[in-house]
Amino acid sequence: MSKVYGYARVSTADQHLDSQLQALKQAGAEEIYKDKATGKNSNRKGLQDLLRVLQGGDTVIITKMDRIARNVKEGIALIDELNEQGIKLNVLNMGMFDNSPTSRLIRNILLSVADWEREMILERQREGIAVAKANGKYKTKPKKYTDKNPSLLHALELFADRANNKKTIKEICQITKVTRSSLYSIAKERGIL
């Protein structure tokens, strides 16, 4: 028996899914998968979980095309994969994508626009940074861990002496409050890794 699934996505953890979830429920989604992750990467947990349960005859509902993909190549591949399996994609502000020639044309146009929009945002961001740098107003995030940071120095000592102290990376990070990624990065820079 075919089923209607919903998929909701926002790009960052501080954004909310509420309006998408409500719209998907009103459109008939029986089960909703969700992600808080960028759309340029199709390897998102919620999306992958959804793809595993889909079967021919099912329908996936999304509120807008850019919720499922913002990258043209991956978006087209994903929609084609769904259509080839007999799965329909219902985009609430566009209509049903069912592998007809018209739906394929609209899909390509919409994903191209989403990709272009993302590139324009990045271009404006780069231009803004260049102007701010030229005016001396651009400041990068200050380094959290400097050579004088006692926590970092302690973490590096423990890291370098793991053979003797038998501490795991997790334990070292808990003791010193230095993040795992920073510890690895700085240890690599210093040739300890």
Tens digit of each residue's pLDDT (9 = 90 or more) over 2-11? 999 999 999 8
Q: What is the pLDDT of residues 113-150, one digit of tens each?
A: 877 888 898 899 999 989 988 888 887 776 777 778 88
Percent of the chain with pLDDT over 90: 30
Amino acid 5: pLDDT: 97
Q: 125 Cβ partners below 8 Å, 6+ apart? A: none
CA dihedral 7, 74, 37, 109 (to 10 degrees): -70
What value does the mean pLDDT take over residues 18-32? 95
Q: Is 151 a catalytic residue?
A: no
* Contact in structure between 39 and 65 (CB atoms under 8 Å): no
- Catalytic option among 11, 42, 112, 185: 11
Burial of 86 (0-12, 13-18, 19+ CB in 10 A): middle
What value does the mean pLDDT take over residues 52-79? 84
Mean pLDDT in the chain? Answer: 86
Q: What are phi and psi of 112, to 5 degrees?
A: -65, -40
What value does the mean pLDDT take over residues 29-33? 96
Residue 109 has pLDDT above 90, yes or no: no
